[in-house]
Structure 1
Amino acid sequence: MKNVIKIAAAGALALSASATAAYANATAQPGETAGLAMGAPLPEGVYFVNTLDWGVTDTRGGDTRSGVNIPVIAWSTPWHPLGANFQLLGALPMIHNDGPGAAFDDAGLYNPFLAAKVAFDLGNGFGVSYLSGVYFNAGDKNIRVHATTWRQDFAISYTADGWNLTANLIWGIKDNDVRDGFNLDLTATKTFGKWEIGAIGFGSTQYDVSRRDRRLNGGKVEGFAVGPLVGYNFGPVIAQAALTTSIYSKNSDDDTRGWVRLIVPLWTPETPMTPLVTKY
């Protein structure tokens, strides 16, 4: 169980939203998988992950405050096609945006997401994974992206000796003429007993620029942010907290953001579910 909890985040994907204009117009929020060992196989079981982030973006006319809450269910199945760990994931992200003054203040459901993922154990602590999923064109009309987005993740992780060294490249393709782009989430942490200490970084760029993008932003929107991460294993629940700030931005706004994540194993073969009602 201790090993299961250590890498529970491998498949418990934090699926969220482009809640801030600080980064490229990606449907997936830059940084949403930072801190997770996305390339590592996930032990069989059902996991719940909740990621909450809140930040302030230095937008024109004043600060824009945005919060995102992402409840995720990840099922690491007993099936192993071609020797891979097969996972199914789903999320219903929620967003609250508060613009300068009373110009914009909205909260609601973001695009729901469903995905499938395969992860391969390469040995010696290395793992790679591929995820394919869809953000559906549904949710609050003032919050969601008005398009269906196909998302693909390509991740590699090293998780031996208490390390989590992970790079996850996210590629989004929308079904309309609004361009999506690439996100890159990076993790470098080390576990010391029950503590996890390290850093995360994330950035994004548009892979194509429409006339609308040039008119509104002047060209490709790009950004990159870094910051420290600390985690603690309460057994069985793992908590993580991070603080990130922009170190590079192009045609975008600087952003400072705090992150809190809880990782909860709901069921594994070693820990059978307790019945809700017990007959005596």
Structure 2
Amino acid sequence: MHSSNTTIVAALALAMASGTSALAASAAQPGQTLGLPTGAQLPIGLILLDTSSFGIRDTAPNRTENNINLPGLVWVPGVHLFGGRLHMIFIQPVVATRPAAGGRYQSGIGVPLVAAQLAWKIGPDFSVSYLLGGYLPVDTQFVINQGSLQQRFAATYNGDGWNLTGNLLYGTYFDATNKQGAFYPDFLNLDVTATKKFGKWELGPVAFGSTDLPTNRPGYRHQGQIAVGGLVGYNFGDYFIQGFVTRDVVERNYGGYDTRAWLRGVFFLYKQTEPGGPMGGLLARNQP
């Protein structure tokens, strides 16, 4: 991963809802797992993490602004199932938004994520993982409030200081229409990372895409986007930080292109040393 003792599962997040029945959004924020080797095994322990992003979408003549903050916990109890290491995940999004029409910011909690992930080490530097969980419904009006089933399929190569990761996210809403009449189709997101470590520093490009899946709803305008950007990270030891910026290069039915700045912090509250374990090679390669 991007630091000596910081391989971590991706936290999942909340995307903004459009507020109309003609537009919807992914329940898992597109791009939120960028920079994380989501296919890799984690060390036994307890991890505190937070990913925050601020985005401006050019919805002329005004612009849409939002901040998505994702505090969460990852617990790795040291249990293996079907040969994969178990990771338990909880994320509670906090969201603030100002719509394109202007006016005051609104803020509140989003749908919380409860999930379990299994990660398999296939070779010395290659791992894959599968995540199964769900966003729980909440009583809020200005962001997605529907419950949904979440599945993630990830692969990571982390040899020679690289983090080459692809993470495919598939979501299915339990109820496609909420009380306000907004419609939410199934969706796919793909987050891609290609970073390299230089001592305690990490640098490299990132990209993500998202799309609604086909639906039989007449008149529905499917949303989609592709964004690219660059990431820089620094390892402090038992915690690390990452910052990156992304910009849409393709958008469909969002009303404008999004520019977004991201900041992530990951802190090991407890970590069990495992000599020769899955983190051993990374620890040896990244000592100052």
User: Does structure 1 conserve the Cα–Cα contact (< 8 Å) formed by 2:17 and 2:143?
Assistant: no
Shift of 1:250: 1.8
Aligned to 2:284: none
Separation (CA, whole Å) in 1 of partners of 2:46 and 2:240:
15
Shift of 1:117: 0.4
Query: Deviation string for 1:101-123 (max 9, x for gaps)?
Result: 54563100000110000000001
Aligned to 1:251: 253
TM-score, scaled to structure 2? 0.85
Residue 146 of structure 2 is aligned to residue 147 of structure 1:
yes
Equivalence map 1:194-233=2 (5 Å):
194-209=200-215, 211=217, 214-215=219-220, 219-233=221-235
User: Structure 1: where are the runs of 5+ without partners?
Assistant: 272-280
Aligned to 1:30: 30
Separation (CA, whole Å) in 1 of partners of 2:35 and 2:272:
25
Aligned to 2:241: 239
Shift of 1:6: 3.6
Residues 1:157 and 1:24: Cα distance change in structure 2 (over 3 Å): farther
TM-score, scaled to structure 1? 0.88
Equivalence map 1:82-231=2 (5 Å):
82-103=82-103, 105-139=105-139, 141-177=140-176, 178-209=184-215, 211=217, 214-215=219-220, 219-231=221-233
Shift of 1:3: 6.8
Shift of 1:209: 3.2
User: Does structure 2 conserve the Cα–Cα contact (< 8 Å) formed by 1:220 and 1:251?
Assistant: yes
Shift of 1:43: 1.1
Equivalenced residue count is 261
Q: Percent identity?
A: 34
User: Does structure 1 conserve the Cα–Cα contact (< 8 Å) formed by 2:17 and 2:24?
Assistant: no
User: Does structure 2 conserve the Cα–Cα contact (< 8 Å) formed by 1:83 and 1:120?
Assistant: yes
- After superposition, the CA RMSD in angstroms is 2.0
Higher helix share: 1
Residue 16 of structure 2 is aligned to residue 19 of structure 1:
yes
Aligned to 1:277: none
User: Does structure 2 conserve the Cα–Cα contact (< 8 Å) formed by 1:225 and 1:248?
Assistant: yes
Equivalent residue letter for 2:222: K
Separation (CA, whole Å) in 2 of partners of 1:24 and 1:144:
10
Aligned to 2:266: 263
Equivalent residue letter for 1:229: L
Shift of 1:74: 0.2
Shift of 1:237: 1.3
Separation (CA, whole Å) in 2 of partners of 1:70 and 1:20:
16
Separation (CA, whole Å) in 1 of partners of 2:187 and 2:101:
30
Separation (CA, whole Å) in 1 of partners of 2:143 and 2:245:
25
User: Structure 2: where are the runs of 5+ without partners?
Assistant: 177-183, 275-288
Separation (CA, whole Å) in 2 of partners of 1:242 and 1:102:
27
Partner SS state of residue 161, structure 1: helix
